[in-house]
Amino acid sequence: MRIAVVPGSFDPITKGHMDIILRAKDLFDKVIVLVVINTEKKPAFTPEERVIMIEKVTQGYNNIITDCFDGLLVDYVERVGACAIVKGLRAVSDFEYEFQMALYNKRLYEPAETVFLTTSTENLYLSSSGVKQIAAFGRDISDFVPQEICEEIYQRLYKKKGE
Ligand code: PNS
């Protein structure tokens, strides 16, 4: 069975992430969406909340599962026997960082390949941090996040004046 891991912070998951995950599920037998805990970032949602949101938006697909991991990505990849790490590339600006990560990961665990999928044009500009800022100022985020979790993300992030 060919297993791929789609890692990320997913704080929160966006339509851009969903696009990559759904395309990966057609390329591999099983896709694990992995919430990686990044100690350098201050997240808006707990890892458990992020996992629940991802499960909610991927529940209709029987070859997608969600997990959470605190550690080096390649250690998880090796443990589950995955053959690929799938990442989305939005623009040239993503490339340098992602290329470095891919080289580190290849050096640390040779059997896994990093596969870059080109983000679809309608999602090119999307980022979790953009979504968080827009919701915090009370604007509609339904164009940017899956509809099933849109309201809960908004309710959490919208900072009403005076609060
Ligand atoms: O959604 P993000 O924040 O761009 O995801 C980045 C992530 C979590 C995929 C990346 O930071 C990661 O793989 N972190 C785990 C630590 C690791 O394995 N680093 C690679 C060697 S430096």
Q: How far is the CA of 48 from the centre of ligand 1 (A)?
A: 18
3-state helix, strand, coil in the chain (%, to 5): 45, 20, 35
Ligand 1 nearest atom to the CA of residue 97, by list position: 4
Known catalytic residue at 90: yes
Question: From atom 10 of ligand 1, which residue's Cα is the shortest distance away?
Answer: 8
Per residue in 142-159, pLDDT (tens digit) is 999 999 999 999 999 997
- pLDDT category at 161 given cuts 50, 70, 90 is low
pLDDT the model gives residue 100: 96
pLDDT the model gives residue 163: 59
Query: What's the whole-model pTM score?
Result: 0.95
Q: Which residues contact 45 (CB under 8 A, 6 or more apart)?
A: 11, 12, 53, 156
Ligand 1 nearest atom to the CA of residue 75, by list position: 18
Q: Is pLDDT above 70 for 160? A: no
Residue 25: both structure tokens together: 């599920």
Per residue in 8-64, pLDDT (tens digit) is 999 999 999 999 999 999 999 999 999 999 888 899 999 999 999 999 999 999 999
- pLDDT category at 162 given cuts 50, 70, 90 is low
Percent of the chain with pLDDT over 70: 98
Known catalytic residue at 2: no
